[in-house]
Structure 1
Amino acid sequence: MAPDEEYQLTPAGRRERIGQIVRLVKKYRVWDNLTPVRLRRLLEELGPMFVKMGQILANRSEILPQRFCDELRRLRSDVEPVPYEVVLRCLEEEYGLRLGEMFDAIDPNPLGSASLAQVHRARLVTGEDVAVKVQRPGAQQVMAQDIDIIRSVVRIVSKFVNTDQFVDLHGVVEELWTSFREETNFLAEAKNLNDFYEFHKSVHGVTCPKSYLDLCTEHVVVMDYVDGISIADPERLVAEGYDLEKIGAAIVEDYSTQVLDDGFFHADPHAGNIILKDGIVYFIDLGMVGRMSSHDRGIVKDMIFAVAEGDVPKLKDSLMRFAVTRGDSAELDHSAFLSDLDFIVADFAGLDLKDLDIGEFLTSLLNLARKNDVELPSVVTMFARGMVTLEGLLTEYMPNVNMIQIIQTHIKNEKSTYARMREMSRDFAASSYRAAKGSLEAAEYLGLASRMLTRGQLKVNTQIMSSDKALRQLGGIIDRMSMAIVIAGLFIGSSVVYYARIEPVVFGIPVIGFMGYVSALVLALMLGRNIWLNSHGGKH
């Protein structure tokens, strides 16, 4: 279903939303010495989508000054809360008369208020202590409207400016849309919580709240309540006797397991999404998760070691195993691609893995791929963003934790050979099944084609797949051949008229023949000029 139909987006609604944005921009005078506080308040008033953008920018000190990043971090959980009466009304709309049958009590004071949702502590009628995450009313509609406006702006800008060399705006918008669909569907988050919980059943010291799936809806998540301490409060953690370095090491080790072993990882591991209780690390807010196949995980490891070893061809091969070109694959300039990779390796090669900044490395690779029109799977972008976010968390709260050294050790001591072989066998079996199924379907179609051929019912539709340049060259050749045939025809026809001595004549040549000779001469000169320009690289 198209976004316009699914979220009932209309031209009138778009105009009204654009008007709101313009009025808020004027209100906060973004052109007049914008301060960090004014920027934060502007993003809060603009709505969930802009708050989400602010949260992303909070970790990008290379884009914004540090004082802006520090202020934007408040957007993680310090957003203006929704009134309790509105929260109750939202719950009543979701559950109807069942609300009183499900909840014995709901705390009117929110545990946290973010751009998209608000969390309240509650007690079920069966006695369980739970946290209820309620989506802000209208947030889904506003976010869909904002993305629709951004998509329209990008479509217009792309007609006049080629931005793909430094940022794939279309790709960014589509990734934003995909992320929006995942984050605003709370049923998906409830399932993610349970999947994460199952993956960590045998893990000591790391888990997540478990959701009550039968009580969850598209706009409400009900999960176990965890009265923990946020990683964003290091002073309190130290006062409670926690060792920040050990906590950081445990988080990185588990994140390595999530990405490199399980292939199911938290895609937004910022400080507000990690809490501690009784020595156990809890990952919360699993609205955004990444899923990576064992094949992709192997490529990630190869890329990390290729850079550490300074092996440019191996890095290029690993990257191309991930990638598909956005245009024609034949258009990829492999020489230029290798040359660009040389610059990246020059910055990172020779470093010990423990000194490698993996977030910066992955960001550099993503920018390089975009520059060369090579498109990487969205999970790679998600993984890179998660690593950058985790690095920012460690840098701010646990600077003594060496993330890369932990990942290096993890790779060396990863799952047993038996476990890896079992996983590879499972993937191979799935691939073999798909291949066998495809072969059987191909055989079936081949038999059908043979029967149609014997009955004279087979029609063949052929399409030449090539670059536009090659097709233009082929068209030019055909045009010149056609022109040469026309010129020859004019010359031969004029000669016949000449020998027939048809009246009237001019310069001793019949007028019709004279006109034919002149036309043939003019066309021949034009054809010769066209061929000369084409052979010397000119336009034609």
Structure 2
Amino acid sequence: MEQTSKLSTRARFAQILQILRKHHIRQGMDPVKFRRILEDLGPTFVKIGQIMSTRQDMFSERYCQELMKLRSQATPMPFEDVEKMIEKAYGKPMNQVFSSFTVIPLGSASIAQVHEAVLKDGTRVVAKVQRPYIYEWMERDVGLLRKAVKVLNLSEIVSSVVDLDMVIDEFWTAAQQEMDFTNEAKFAKRFRKTYEDCAFIDAPRIIDQYTTKEVLVMEYIDGIEINNISALKDQGYDIKEIADKLAYNYISQIIEHGFFHADPHSGNIRIRDDKIVWIDFGMMGILEDRDRQILKEAIRGLATNDVGKVVDSILAIGVTKQEIDYTAFTNTIEMFMSQYMDQSFASMDLAKMVQDIFTICHQYKISLPKGISMLARSMMTMNGTLLTLDPHSSMAQIVANHKATLTQLDLSKEATRTIKRSLEALSRSIDIPVQASDVLKLFQHGQIKVNLNLMGSDAPIAKIDRMVNRLIVCILIAALLLGSCLVCTTDMEPKILGIPLIGFLMLVVALLMGVWLFVKMFFLHRRNKAF
């Protein structure tokens, strides 16, 4: 175990403060300094940085690019700890479960490490074993980080760079899910079930009998790593065909199923028995049906150069942290699209295009759902994997080949969706009289508050101001005329021309105000003079 893991809570807190002070945290922040701080703080904070690097909608491009340099490879834990974790998980010694178990791990990360093993029945497997006390240590580090943020007022110092509270909350939620290996097992089984009828896609089989929260056991995949081009060619594989099938499958994961591998680098993809085998399902992206439909609308907008559709899609799927100037935002998106619409879809720089979209969202403080952020990062990773396979192809080119499937309508699904929306509308319409009654009651009790906010121009507000002023003058004129008529029915003294003086004056004032209003509306307004 790392030395930092053995420290007491007080000593660890002191160490965190010392590291932050060593890097002169109060003197400002830059991407390189931020990455070095996370590396010095240890595995928990490296994991935080890795999560931050995927949220390009929240953090600037400079920080995301620098944090991508963080590596999850960690010092292997002692084999004695591996044995203890397995015995704890199964309630019996390792040798009663496995006939053999390699001492040197296949890989080691901050949360767990992976070993090759053989079960008693001869099945060759991979065992992913969690580090002992990792949950308690990460929970401690997260609590100490929150305390350090308050002690050093870090939220104020780095507020222009990151929302620290948001980052900590998101990290801890993701880490808790990742530390429960039953979640990864469910993802792997769901993926395998989804593509069980696909002739060229596969995934390792999970050994449920030996899978717990701390230990994950799955089928060993002995295929060829997908970036081992020479070995693939030696086995007679067509590299271009592999690239096409891989990209097509990834598009189907996103568009058709909304369940995609969020870390599609070459180390997580094997070729075995003419099949593309995906492994390591610890990081999966999930798109809700609503998000997938909005994503399709955005793609249609890009494909048809419909700026309004792209703008509406981004605002529909994102969460705004401040008021959006719709006109300025639309102009920005229009400028963005003009850079790419003159190019063929296949020749677009997908990575730059995605990065530009996230830069715009960051500029306007629009936060995108986690699934969308993971999608953007994974698409760029997949693009690199495809370029390794076939330098003449790219993710954008594959999307271009399948653009028709993204822009066409599925009539059966559209009909089902229309019927569903109609039924929902009918159901809601039944509640309208009751809701209207409730609103009127709130009005009667003065409990309704209406905020009117017009963005993009001062002209609408000025027009409303003039309209309200004219309405007030009309009400005053009507009140004076009505009051004059009432006074004239009395014998009030003194009188002018047989009319009570007060009534006469009210009538004169009303007439003068009417003439004045008429002049302002029909003559001076033509010369655009303010009312």
For Structure 1 versus Structure 2, the TM-score category normalised by the shorter chain is 0.5 to 0.7
Q: 1:405 aligns with which of 377, 389, 397?
A: 397
Asked if 1:319 is matched to 2:311, the reply is no
Q: Does structure 1 conserve the Cα–Cα contact (< 8 Å) formed by 2:299 and 2:406?
A: no
Q: Report the Cα distance in structure 2 between the residues aligned to 1:302 and 1:416, rounded to whole angstroms.
A: 11
Asked if 1:385 is matched to 2:377, the reply is yes
Question: CA 1:321 to 1:51, structure 2 compared with 1: closer, same or farther past 3 Å?
Answer: closer
Secondary structure (helix, strand or coil) at the match of 1:255 reads: helix
Query: Which residue of 1 is the match for residue 480 of structure 2?
Result: none
Task: Tell me the CA shift for residue 222 of structure 1.
Answer: 1.4
Q: Which consecutive residues of structure 1, in runs of 5 or more, have no partner in the other structure?
A: 1-11, 454-458, 470-540
Query: Which residue of 2 is the match for residue 53 of structure 1?
Result: 49
Q: Does structure 1 conserve the Cα–Cα contact (< 8 Å) formed by 2:116 and 2:125?
A: yes
Asked if 1:229 is matched to 2:224, the reply is yes
Deviations 1:258-284 (A, max 9, x none): 001111111121222222222321211
Q: 1:376 aligns with which of 346, 361, 368?
A: 368
Secondary structure (helix, strand or coil) at the match of 2:251 reads: helix
Query: Which residue of 1 is the match for residue 331 of structure 2?
Result: 339
Task: Tell me the CA shift for residue 370 of structure 1.
Answer: 3.1
Question: CA 1:212 to 1:141, structure 2 compared with 1: closer, same or farther past 3 Å?
Answer: same
Task: Tell me the CA shift for residue 135 of structure 1.
Answer: 1.3
Query: Which residue of 1 is the match for residue 457 of structure 2?
Result: none
Q: 2:270 aligns with which of 272, 275, 299?
A: 275
Deviations 1:31-72 (A, max 9, x none): 9xxxx9xx8998398125415736986999x74999x999x5
Aligned residues: 434
Deviations 1:222-281 (A, max 9, x none): 111111232354444444444443322222111100001111111121222222222321
Q: Does structure 2 conserve the Cα–Cα contact (< 8 Å) formed by 1:59 and 1:69?
A: no
Secondary structure (helix, strand or coil) at the match of 2:392 reads: coil
Secondary structure (helix, strand or coil) at the match of 2:91 reads: helix
Q: Report the Cα distance in structure 1 between the residues aligned to 2:178 and 2:149, rounded to whole angstroms.
A: 23
Question: CA 1:43 to 1:467, structure 2 compared with 1: closer, same or farther past 3 Å?
Answer: farther
Question: CA 1:337 to 1:352, structure 2 compared with 1: closer, same or farther past 3 Å?
Answer: same
Task: Tell me the CA shift for residue 90 of structure 1.
Answer: 0.5
Question: CA 1:300 to 1:149, structure 2 compared with 1: closer, same or farther past 3 Å?
Answer: farther
Task: Tell me the CA shift for residue 191 of structure 1.
Answer: 0.2
Secondary structure (helix, strand or coil) at the match of 1:332 reads: coil
Asked if 1:158 is matched to 2:150, the reply is no
Q: 2:447 aligns with which of 456, 462, 466?
A: 462
Query: Which residue of 1 is the match for residue 483 of structure 2?
Result: none
Query: Which residue of 2 is the match for residue 485 of structure 1?
Result: none
* More relative contact order, 1 or 2 (CA 8 Å, 6+ apart): 2
Task: Tell me the CA shift for residue 205 of structure 1.
Answer: 1.5
TM-score, length of structure 1 as denominator length: 0.67
Task: Tell me the CA shift for residue 293 of structure 1.
Answer: 3.3
Query: Which residue of 2 is the match for residue 19 of structure 1?
Result: 14
Question: CA 1:370 to 1:465, structure 2 compared with 1: closer, same or farther past 3 Å?
Answer: farther
Deviations 1:377-421 (A, max 9, x none): 22111211211222233345643322112122224247997xx45
Q: 2:292 aligns with which of 275, 297, 304?
A: 297
Task: Tell me the CA shift for residue 188 of structure 1.
Answer: 0.7
Secondary structure (helix, strand or coil) at the match of 2:282 reads: coil
Range 347-356 or range 303-312, more displaced: 303-312
Q: Which consecutive residues of structure 2, in runs of 5 or more, have no partner in the other structure?
A: 1-6, 455-531
Q: Report the Cα distance in structure 2 between the residues aligned to 1:239 and 1:59, rounded to whole angstroms.
A: 40
Asked if 1:358 is matched to 2:350, the reply is yes
Asked if 1:110 is matched to 2:105, the reply is yes
Q: Counterpart of 2:279 in structure 1: which amino acid?
A: I
Q: Report the Cα distance in structure 1 between the residues aligned to 2:370 and 2:55, rounded to whole angstroms.
A: 20
Task: Tell me the CA shift for residue 81 of structure 1.
Answer: 1.9
Secondary structure (helix, strand or coil) at the match of 2:386 reads: helix
Range 424-433 or range 404-413, more displaced: 424-433
Secondary structure (helix, strand or coil) at the match of 1:119 reads: strand
Q: Does structure 1 conserve the Cα–Cα contact (< 8 Å) formed by 2:204 and 2:219?
A: yes
Q: Report the Cα distance in structure 2 between the residues aligned to 1:213 and 1:154, rounded to whole angstroms.
A: 42
Q: Does structure 1 conserve the Cα–Cα contact (< 8 Å) formed by 2:240 and 2:389?
A: no
Q: Does structure 1 conserve the Cα–Cα contact (< 8 Å) formed by 2:54 and 2:377?
A: no
Q: Report the Cα distance in structure 1 between the residues aligned to 2:350 and 2:90, rounded to whole angstroms.
A: 46
Coordinate RMSD, CA, aligned: 4.5
Task: Tell me the CA shift for residue 338 of structure 1.
Answer: 1.4
Query: Which residue of 1 is the match for residue 495 of structure 2?
Result: none
Task: Tell me the CA shift for residue 304 of structure 1.
Answer: 3.1
Q: Does structure 2 conserve the Cα–Cα contact (< 8 Å) formed by 1:112 and 1:120?
A: yes
Q: Report the Cα distance in structure 1 between the residues aligned to 2:239 and 2:369, rounded to whole angstroms.
A: 34
Range 381-390 or range 91-100, more displaced: 91-100
Q: Does structure 2 conserve the Cα–Cα contact (< 8 Å) formed by 1:134 and 1:221?
A: yes
Task: Tell me the CA shift for residue 317 of structure 1.
Answer: 1.7
Query: Which residue of 2 is the match for residue 199 of structure 1?
Result: 194
TM-score, length of structure 2 as denominator length: 0.68
Q: Report the Cα distance in structure 2 between the residues aligned to 1:24 and 1:170, rounded to whole angstroms.
A: 20
Identical-pair percentage: 29
